[in-house]
Amino acid sequence: SKNGVHTFENVVGHLAQREDQVHSLGSIGGYEWFVKLGLGVYDETSFRSSLICENGNPKVKIGIRYYLKIKNSNEILQEKYKREDFMNLESDEVAISEYIPLLEVLNLKNGWLIDEKCTVEYGIQILIHNCPHYSGSTTESHDKLIPDDVELSDLEQCFQIANRVRIDLSTYRLLGLPEVAQSLLLTNASHFIEEQLIWKQYKNEKFILHAIEHDLSRFLAVLLKSATPEYVLEIIRGHIDILSMEIKKMIVAKVLYGRY
């Protein structure tokens, strides 16, 4: 990840010439990155900043979390046009800030330009990628690095948990995260989520079904500690089609040997 601040000079002159200004951020995740300032790509009545990855390979996709903020002494305006988001970048795609009407920028009373200078604060965090620098190969199977239905808050919590950050979450919040972690291929996050679930005490059949659906074999073992062999066999009959091999082995150990 990388964050920082850069001040662009002679901004008005570049805008008059319809020229973008570009500042190199160096290498991040094996690729060169740049922060750019200028007119809107499709609307020259707007002003924006953007982050660009120098990636000419159409097969390479990089999932990032980013923020862009054009500095202003007026904090209300500054926060209004700040952008924090995550997206999948491929080929020549760019991450763009909120657009600011150009006339507002050129009005010096609004505080966007100080002595024709404009300062941009930026941040990039590489979340997931299929870059050959890391994965060893780039294939067509990585169409979606961050699924469209994953919420930013879920994404952040899964990455925090994957890095062993202790988060105080409710039981039902924890129960909802394994599916997100699995969709992001964060197996270590699933492991640590399961650990937190194990520390709690449950006696609810819904939790048993949830553990089966998400292949949480260790959590299921704790839930079944006081279950009779007959009840365990009933579970097998009712859910045989979705039981993973790990859960099947655990259940067989309980029924046949009385242990896990």
- The secondary structure of 151-190, three-state, reads CHHHHHHHHHHHCCCCCCCCHHHHHHHHHHHHHCCCHHHH
Four-way CATH pick for 2-135: 2.60.120.590, 2.60.40.60, 2.60.210.10, 3.40.800.10: 2.60.210.10
pTM for the model stands at: 0.54
What pLDDT does 251 receive? 74
Phi, psi of 122 (to 5 degrees): -140, 160
Could you read off the pLDDT tens digit of each residue along the chain, which spans 260 residues?
688 999 999 999 988 888 899 999 888 767 788 888 887 655 678 899 999 887 766 666 777 888 899 999 898 999 999 988 877 777 667 888 899 999 999 998 999 999 999 999 998 877 765 544 333 433 333 445 566 677 777 877 887 787 677 777 877 788 788 888 877 777 777 778 877 777 665 656 677 777 888 788 888 777 777 677 777 777 777 777 788 888 877 777 766 665 54
Structure token pair of residue 111: 């505080």
What pLDDT does 128 receive? 62
Phi, psi of 100 (to 5 degrees): -115, 130
Q: Where are the domains of the chain?
A: 2-135, 155-197, 201-260
Do 80 and 71 meet the contact criterion of CB atoms below 8 Å apart?
no
Do 251 and 242 meet the contact criterion of CB atoms below 8 Å apart?
no
Where do runs of H (alpha helix) occur along 35-141? 75-80, 102-106, 132-135
